[in-house]
Amino acid sequence: MIQSRPRTPLGYLPILLPAFALIAFYIVPFGSMVGMSFFHNLGGGAYEEVFTLENYARLVSPFFLSVLGTSFEVAFLVALFAIVIGFPFTYLLVNARRGTQVFWLIVMLSVLSLSEAIIGFAWSTLLSRTAGIGVLFEALGLTEKAQSYAPSLGAVLAGVTYIAMPYAVLLLYPILSRIEPDIEQASRTLGASPLRAFFNVIVPMHRTPIVVSFVMIFVFTLGSYLLPQILGRPTNWTLSVVISDQALLQSNMPFAAALSIFLMTVTILLVLLVTLINRKGAKA
């Protein structure tokens, strides 16, 4: 029934339209952005179509290096937190009843799909003086007077980890759901407690998926753009925020394009790294 290819060239027609749509509205826009990154900025949204490398030269400025430092710091810490929380959570999830699994999968999918504007608003409320944990801490007598915990770097980390955790769960869920039940049983028979079986057998067994997920979450976090603006100060802004700020508020399209190309290069390098790790892991 399955054929290697259509019998007549006409048989290719169904896939030609989608192919055209993807090329015209993805590859071409992409190319135009690459072109834009070499144009000269005139200010106020105008640009001159001459070839220049000045937008890329600005990437080594102290301002940009500090943005890069913040982005990588946030992405690294968030990826770490998300894995440390997400891995054991997913492990417990795949071993739960089916109904429990479906419930938490719906919750995780929802958190991941919700607008960062809504998550940001919810977290700024949660960290506020009048409606959040400040009230709770005061009521519990932990602090004398309720205070606000945002904007701060800690708030950005908490907010971004909050959306990265479901991403970690959805990345790890298919992998952990394939664990043979015999493995845990075997280590239990040999006298290991469930906790020891988890830390001494399950975690080391999944070194490769853990590293791969870490890199994927790192990339995912680099894309967060509203949470650092809502929960942080301008010094906590990440690369994605700076790109949208350059494009929309400073109206410097060529520089925003160059920054995007840089971010894309970093992303592609990281994805290649993941592929390499995966291949090595498969061999081992």
Partner 1 sequence: MKLGKILSTLFFWIVGIVTIAPFVVIAGVSVNERKSLTFPPEGFNLGWYGDLFLDAEWREPLMTSLTIAICASLLAVLIAFPVAWFNWRYRTGFGKLVAGLGAMPFLLPPVITAMGFLTFFIILGYYGEFWTVVVAHAIFLVTLPLVSLSLGFEDIDTSLVEASRSMGASETTVLRTVVLPMIRPYVISGFCFVFVISLNEYIIAVMTVGAVFETLPMKIFNALRYGYTPVMAAASVVFVASTVLIFSLVAAFSDLPKLLGARSK
Of 97-116, binders to partner 1 (CB under 8 A) are 98, 101-102, 104-111, 113-116
User: Rule CB under 8 A: is residue 234 a binding residue for partner 1?
Assistant: no
Least Cβ distance, residue 166 to partner 1 (angstroms) = 8
User: Rule CB under 8 A: is residue 12 a binding residue for partner 1?
Assistant: yes
Q: Which is nearer to partner 1, 6 or 69 (CB)?
A: 6
Cα separation, 98 vs 105, whole angstroms: 10
Residue 14: other Cβ atoms inside 10 A: 10
Q: Which long-range contacts (CB under 8 A, 24 or more apart) does 120-123 make?
A: 120/159, 120/226, 120/227, 120/229, 120/230, 120/231, 121/230, 123/150, 123/155, 123/158, 123/159, 123/162, 123/227, 123/230, 123/231
Least Cβ distance, residue 152 to partner 1 (angstroms) = 17
The binder of partner 1 chosen from 160, 168, 201, 257 (CB under 8 A) = 257
The binder of partner 1 chosen from 157, 165, 168, 217 (CB under 8 A) = 165
User: Rule CB under 8 A: is residue 185 a binding residue for partner 1?
Assistant: no
Q: What angle do CA 61, 67, 69 make, to 5 degrees?
A: 100
User: Rule CB under 8 A: is residue 8 a binding residue for partner 1?
Assistant: no
**Amino acid residing at 203:** V
The binder of partner 1 chosen from 61, 125, 143, 275 (CB under 8 A) = 125
User: Rule CB under 8 A: is residue 57 a binding residue for partner 1?
Assistant: no
User: Rule CB under 8 A: is residue 271 a binding residue for partner 1?
Assistant: yes
